[in-house]
């Protein structure tokens, strides 16, 4: 698969794919007549890169991780360790994001209610929060 197609499939631009290669993320792309060919395995790797990147792993560390793979069996413990760390980190991110979603949901409720009833009918923030909890059953705490 040529670079343009790999780009289309992964959502990265061709330039970014070359950039990643330069950065040592995918150092062993197969070539035909000097041109990159992306295998299904390469695409899987890129999807993993995307996953790690979007869960907050810097390219530096992704490179470190990917460099462990060709070492096979004996790098399994390190790879496991890295994935466990990332798993833990993602768990925290999920908790945090859920709390933020709650915060924003409260704001939406607040503005909807204020539009219906008028802003000056709303009382102070604590009264609003309490009412929000009563009416929605949500446990928002800010």
What are the residues binding a second copy (CB under 8 A)? 44, 47-48, 51, 54-55, 72-73, 76-77, 79-80, 83-84, 86-87, 90-91, 93-94, 96-98, 100-101, 103-105, 107-108, 111-112, 114-115, 118-120, 125, 142
Residue with Cβ nearer DNA (8 or 69): 8
Q: How far is the CB of 100 from DNA (least distance, A)?
A: 15
Closest CA to 125 of 102, 140, 98, 97: 140
User: Could you give the CA distance from residue 94 to residue 54 in angstroms, rounded to a whole number?
Assistant: 13
Least Å from the CB of residue 26 to a second copy: 17
Q: Of 30-69, which residues contact DNA (CB under 7 A)?
A: 32-36, 53, 58-60
| Window 5-24: contact mask with DNA (x via CB under 7 A) | x-------xxxx-xxx----
Closest CA to 131 of 119, 98, 122, 101: 122
Q: Which two tokens stand for residue 122?
A: 């709303």
CB of 62 or CB of 106, closer to DNA: 62
- Choose one: 28-36, 69-77, 85-93, 101-109; the region binding DNA (CB under 7 A): 28-36
**CA 14 to CA 31: how far, in whole Å?**
15
Distance between CA atoms of residues 59 and 49, nearest Å: 8
User: Whole-angstrom Cα distance, residue 134 to residue 127?
Assistant: 11
Torsions phi, psi for 138 (to 5 deg): -80, 155
Catalog residues that contact DNA under the rule CB under 7 A.
2-5, 13-16, 18-20, 32-36, 53, 58-60
């Amino acid at each position: 698969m040529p670079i343009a197609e790999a780009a289309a499939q992964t959502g990265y631009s061709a330039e970014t794919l070359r950039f990643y290669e330069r950065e040592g993320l995918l150092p062993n792309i197969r070539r035909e007549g000097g041109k990159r060919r992306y295998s299904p395995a390469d695409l899987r790797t890129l999807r993993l890169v995307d996953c790690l990147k979007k869960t907050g792993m810097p390219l530096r560390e992704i490179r470190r991780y990917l460099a462990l793979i060709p070492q096979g069996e004996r790098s399994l413990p390190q790879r496991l360790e890295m994935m466990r760390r990332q798993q833990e980190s993602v768990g925290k991110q999920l908790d945090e994001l859920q709390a933020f979603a709650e915060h924003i949901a409260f704001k939406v409720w607040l503005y909807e209610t204020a539009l219906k009833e008028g802003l000056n009918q709303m009382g102070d923030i604590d009264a609003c929060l309490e009412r929000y909890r009563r009416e929605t059953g949500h446990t928002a705490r800010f």
